[in-house]
Structure formats: C-alpha cells, structure tokens
Amino acid sequence: MTYDLYLGDRTYSSWSMRGWLMFRAFDIPFRAHMVGLYDGTLQQDLAHLAPARLVPAMRTPDGIAVQDTLAMAETLAEDYPALWPNDRRHRALARGMVAEMHSGFGALRSECAMNLEHSWRGFQANDDVKADVARIDLLWQMAFDMSGSDGWLFGEYSLADVFYAPVAARIAGHGLAVSDQAQAYVDRQLSHDLFRQWRAMGLTKPLDPKPYRLPLEEGPWPGPAPIPSKTAPQGPSENATCPYSGDPVTDYLEIDGRVFGFCNPFCRDKTLHDPAAWPAFMAIYQS
Ligand SMILES: N[C@@H](CCC(=O)N[C@@H](CS)C(=O)NCC(=O)O)C(=O)O
C-alpha cells in the first residue's frame, strides 16, 4: 500500500509542502520523488503521470495517477478518513476552508510568495492582501469557536491544518498583522515538527538564483531558532548507526563539541539545519 508522491522544491513550493504534510501527518506510506520545478524539467519528469502537469501529484498503490492537491487529499481520505475532522459540522467547515484556500486568496498568494528561508523586513501589505488575511483570520476564528480548540483548527491535526500551513508561512514571513489567536496558530504551525522537517530538508538545497525576490532586506526566519550545529570533517561519533536508516555512519555534524554521525550527506544536512525537528536524532542527542 505504498503511494508514489511527486514534489517540487521544498523551500518555495507551497503546494508540494501540502502534499508531503498530508502523507507524513497521517503516516501514509509513500516514496518521495523530487521533480525539476525550477530547472525546466517539470513536464518531462511528470510525462509518465498524465494528466498531472504540476506538483504535487501522486500515483496510488493500484496505479492511478492523481493530479492536484485537493484531489489527492480526497482520494487519500477515501482510505484514511482521519484526514478530515470526525465531527460532521467540523468536517463541513474544514472542507469549505480547504476549498476556499485552494481556489482563493489570490492577492496573498501573488504578493507574498512562500519562502521558508528567511523573512522580509518592512513589507507593506496592500488592501487586497489585508482583505485576504482578514478573511483567513475570520475562518480560523470560526474553526476555533466551533471546535473549542486552542491548538489545531479542529482539535486533532487535519487537512485544514495541512492546507493552511503554507499560509502561516506567508503571514509570518511577510510580518502580516493578525489577531492574537491567529498569531498563536501561525506560531504553532511554524513550531510543528513536520513543518520544521520539511523546511530543514529544503534548506539543504538552496536555489541559485532564488525565485520570488522582493526589493527588501532579508530578516531572520520567524520560526524556532535551530540548535547551533556545524559539519564535522570526521568521526568518531557518539552513534555508530544513522538515527534514520540504521545504516553505518559516514557523514558527521558537531553540536557543542559532541559529534554525531549519519549515513549520507542529506541525512546530516537536514539535521544540521534544525536538529530539534527530528525526534530520532533528538533521542540520541538527549541520551
Ligand atoms: N491547483 C494545483 C496547483 C499546483 C501548483 O500550482 N503547483 C506549482 C508549484 S507550487 C507548480 O507545479 N508550478 C509549475 C508550473 O506552473 O509550471 C494544486 O492544488 O495542486
């Protein structure tokens, strides 16, 4: 029952992020395939997956190609109903919010591209962006009021949270003003292990040139600051096997004079960019 999931760049592709989150958050088995979103090979990489022509896209274990994030979500929910809230009223609102995200908020999406590397200082939102953000704030407030949650929108993490994760990144990265309740939700999204893991993997492959530049100064990333770490040229490391694969270690990083090993440069680098995002690594670090 393993799906194939096709993703673009992690730092800038907000739809890819949603695709990955919906698999990881619900422990749905998948093989990830990165396709060339920014290097011109997208159509060629997806040619075998018609009718898909954008990322994310997936192939089900029984061979069906599914394009479009919302169609993927609904297809997965047929086998994994926990993707949607259990309560019928909550589910109806969640579906509406996801649909509205999927088809709307054009000003926010065009003016405030998702960028998980850094924030922008001094961004001035126009009236259309402010109206989109006010609507998002209202929808979040309605979800919290209905569910009584002060965490995820409908209590348990659901597709509504998946679809609004990149929205939280756009709001935080551009310093857009929201209510206190919405700001707490934005912070919660940016602190979520899976959000941090996706971002840390993205930071291992910086794009050059970077897309969606603004004529503004870069500021720090508004999410949790990573534990400072750096690559180490060699072992020995405290751990003999990689925390993720269990394979022998070949690549190393250092935190506070302590050396840890990984089975390849990607496993090391995704850890380096945010060690605390990775429970399997933290189990070794804290032992
Ligand atoms: N409606 C689609 C939108 C997907 C989308 O626009 N993906 C972008 C990356 S975030 C893409 O593939 N862009 C490539 C292109 O436009 O050629 C969905 O929900 O999946």
Q: Please identify, by atom number, the ligand 1 atom nearest to the C-alpha of residue 70.
A: 19
Q: Within this chain, do residues 92 and 189 fall inside the same structural domain, yes or no?
A: yes
How many other β-carbons are positioned within 10 Å of the β-carbon of residue 249? 23
Whether residues 172 and 95 fall in one domain: yes
Q: Which of 11, 12, 14, 15 to mutate to test the pocket of ligand 1 (most atoms within 8 A of CB)?
A: 15
Q: What is the CATH number of the domain that holds 98?
A: 1.20.1050.10
pTM: 0.97
Residues 52 and 152 in one domain: no
Q: Which residues line ligand 1 (CB under 6 A)?
A: 8, 13-16, 37, 42, 54-55, 68-70, 102
pLDDT in tens, 134-185: 999 999 999 999 999 999 999 999 999 999 999 999 999 999 999 999 999 9
- Find the domain containing 140 and state its range: 83-196
d(Cα 134, Cα 156) in Å, to the nearest integer?
A: 24
- Candidate of 55, 66, 74 to mutate for ligand 1, largest count of ligand atoms within 8 Å of Cβ: 55
Boundary residue ending a domain (64, 81, 98): 81
pLDDT in tens, 13-36: 999 999 999 999 999 999 999 999
Q: Which residues are CB-neighbours of 180 under 8 A, at least 6 positions away?
A: none
Are residues 276 and 185 part of one domain? no
d(CA 246, CA 234): 19
Residue 203 maps to a domain: no
223, part of any domain: no
In the numeric block, the tokens 């509205």 are attached to 100
Asked if residue 182 and residue 124 are part of one domain, the reply reads yes
Question: Looking at the domain assignment, is residue 18 inside a domain?
Answer: yes
β-sheet bridge partners, residue 155: 152
**Of the candidates 28, 49, 81, which is a domain's last residue?**
81
Report how many domains make up the chain.
Answer: 3
